[in-house]
Structure 1
Amino acid sequence: MMYIGLPQWSHPKWVRLGITSLEDYARHFNCVEGNTTLYALPKAEIVLRWREQTSDDFRFCFKFPATISHHAALRQCGDLTAEFFDRLSPLANRIGQYWLQLPATFGPKDLPALWHFLDTLPKDFTYGVEVRHPSFFDKSADEQALNRGLHERGVNRAILDSRPVHSATPHSEAIREAQRKKPKVPVHALVTAASPLVRFIGSDDMQQNLQMFQVWLKTLPEWTEKSTPFLFLHTPDIGNVHELVHILWPGLQRAFPQIGDEPSIPGQESLF
């Protein structure tokens, strides 16, 4: 089993592709990275609408709000966490995983807070954690402690592959902004739980993206023998992510025949 999706389900540039809603998006991809919840909780009626627009086979991977992960740094945020789960409860059976995107300031000294937070979460869901502190990427005792703690709790370590965007020539504002915002950290491709989450941050150089993605075409099939990976594809201008999907899909289809043909619109060879 393999889940493939994008960081969001709509964009003005996708209207010409026939994607104007979550319902349209879900016809082509089986999961989505829920970035919006990092910034604000959706209204209850919107969550119900999301449920109406998807099937039980679709998976949402919502981020914990920044009020929890960044502002509170996982401390004394029980009420915020309870509100988060309550608001998204209509989608409970469609959650791929809830995951924490922690800031670069969250380091080894904060691990006790992470363990306490994770240990108090509902056991009904799968969880992931993305770290950005340099000490968690130097293969030191600190990184080992992080990986061991996640493994013991059955929590996934979210993997950020930002090599393509940071290798790109900064010739556009979209590239420069992505290089400013996306962490430049080593890719530590390891599995700490049953649903590894990979975020591939492409550039606008599609041949470079294709070359750098080859390692995932080898690694992801190996992981599916014992786990269910989630793969999310990004580009600096997400409105142009169709180009990345188009160039990567043949390799993905060879590695995972079950994903079917490239997303398409009736009467057209390709959606993108």
Structure 2
Amino acid sequence: MRLHVGCAQWTHAAWPQPSREKLRSYASWCNAVESNTTFYATPSQTTVAGWAAQTPADFRFVVKLPQLISHERRLSGVEVELRAFLSAIEPLADRNHALWIQLPASFSPTDLGSLAAFLHQAPRGYRYAVEVRHPAFFDEPRTAELLERVLARVDAEWVPFDTVTLFQHRPTSLAERDAWMKKPRVVRRTRALTAHPIVRYIGRDDVQQTVDGWAYLVDSVVNWLGEGRSPTVFLHTPDNVEALGLARRFHSDVRSRVPALAPLPEPVEVDPPTLF
């Protein structure tokens, strides 16, 4: 029985991390991470091998496909680029938990054929997770059902980005105001399609508001674990200052109700900086 938790990044100026090997330090706090850097460019195999070397065997990356594939080409005519990307991330081996296909808000129900074709032609042996942002997928039950059918054909997961807590109150900081402008405002999803549900939850810069808002998600994760599923939950806040500790707190909240859940590692202590 395992719950993976993590953040949207593995380094932050406010987190207690050494000057080098920040990923190794992060992996002593959390057992998963969103690999957002791959969205902007395909890394070298050497770089990815370094990621693998800094993480234990049971650590999990949810690796975002490059924007060239998902946004610019919109999943069409990308066979060469996809092969190159999969070759680059080979060093992750089993640490590669899922290939994360984050689609732009303009990717609408009329584009479902492109998604279906991409998933049908994509190499087997990988787990695929799709994040959509067009409102129709959330507001129209028939459209949601069509998307679920496309995903079910290849046992792919629908990744919800839960922003309900973020939008419950007006912004009180620059970071929250920025998040209000950029994050999707859609209804909450609690339905898992596969044995490996993935949820991205964004709260507020206020810790208590963030914790209060995830009560439903603790319930969902407890239920999923009871059903034999292995969920992954990523904790965000607008400024992500407290995200590292919040990820561990979420895991602790679930473990208080599921004592058999494997614990997270103990964080590695970071020596304070010295003058010499």
Q: Is the 8 A contact 1:156 1:196 kept in 2?
A: yes
Measure, in 2, the Cα distance between the counterparts of 1:83 and 1:264. Answer: 35
Give the helix-richer structure, 1 or 2. 1
Number of equivalent positions = 267
Which residue number corresponds to residue 238 of structure 1? 240
Q: Is the 8 A contact 2:116 2:150 kept in 1?
A: yes
Query: Which region of structure 1 is more displaced relative to structure 2, 240-249 or 226-235?
Result: 240-249
Q: Which runs of 5 or more residues in structure 1 are unaligned?
A: 268-272
What are the superposed Cα offsets for residues 88-144 of structure 1, whole Å, 9 maximum, x if unpaired?
Answer: 011122111111111111011111100110111111111100011111012432211
Measure, in 1, the Cα distance between the counterparts of 2:128 and 2:50. Answer: 24
Structure 2 counterpart of 1:74, which letter? L
Q: Is the 8 A contact 2:25 2:268 kept in 1?
A: no
Alignment of 1:77-156 (within 5 A): 77-156=78-157
Residue 209 of structure 1 and its aligned partner are, at CA, apart by 1.6
Query: Which region of structure 1 is more displaced relative to structure 2, 257-266 or 98-107?
Result: 257-266
Alignment of 1:229-268 (within 5 A): 229-242=231-244, 244-245=246-247, 248-257=250-259, 258-260=261-263, 264-265=267-268
Residue 19 of structure 1 and its aligned partner are, at CA, apart by 8.8
Structure 2 counterpart of 1:56, which letter? A
Q: Is residue 2:35 matched to residue 1:40?
A: no
Identity %: 35
Q: Which runs of 5 or more residues in structure 2 are unaligned?
A: 271-276
Alignment of 1:215-226 (within 5 A): 215-224=216-225, 225-226=227-228
Which residue number corresponds to residue 187 of structure 1? 188
CA RMSD of aligned residues (A): 2.1
Residue 197 of structure 1 and its aligned partner are, at CA, apart by 0.5
Structure 1 counterpart of 2:115, which letter? L
Q: Is residue 2:78 matched to residue 1:73?
A: no
> 1:261–1:155: structure 2 CA closer, same or farther, 3 Å change rule?
closer
Residue 8 of structure 1 and its aligned partner are, at CA, apart by 1.1
> 1:97–1:28: structure 2 CA closer, same or farther, 3 Å change rule?
same
Residue 171 of structure 1 and its aligned partner are, at CA, apart by 2.1
Measure, in 1, the Cα distance between the counterparts of 2:222 and 2:153. Answer: 24
> 1:189–1:17: structure 2 CA closer, same or farther, 3 Å change rule?
farther
> 1:66–1:255: structure 2 CA closer, same or farther, 3 Å change rule?
farther
Measure, in 2, the Cα distance between the counterparts of 1:81 and 1:265. Answer: 36
Q: Is the 8 A contact 1:253 1:261 kept in 2?
A: no
Alignment of 1:18-29 (within 5 A): 21-29=22-30
The higher relative CO (CA closer than 8 Å, separation ≥ 6) is in 2
> 1:179–1:40: structure 2 CA closer, same or farther, 3 Å change rule?
same
Measure, in 2, the Cα distance between the counterparts of 1:164 and 1:124. Answer: 35
TM score, norm. by length of structure 2: 0.90
TM score, norm. by length of structure 1: 0.91
Measure, in 1, the Cα distance between the counterparts of 2:38 and 2:248. Answer: 28
Residue 152 of structure 1 and its aligned partner are, at CA, apart by 2.5
Structure 2 counterpart of 1:188, which letter? R
Q: Is the 8 A contact 2:33 2:62 kept in 1?
A: yes
SS at the partner of 1:238? coil
> 1:205–1:57: structure 2 CA closer, same or farther, 3 Å change rule?
same
Residue 252 of structure 1 and its aligned partner are, at CA, apart by 2.6
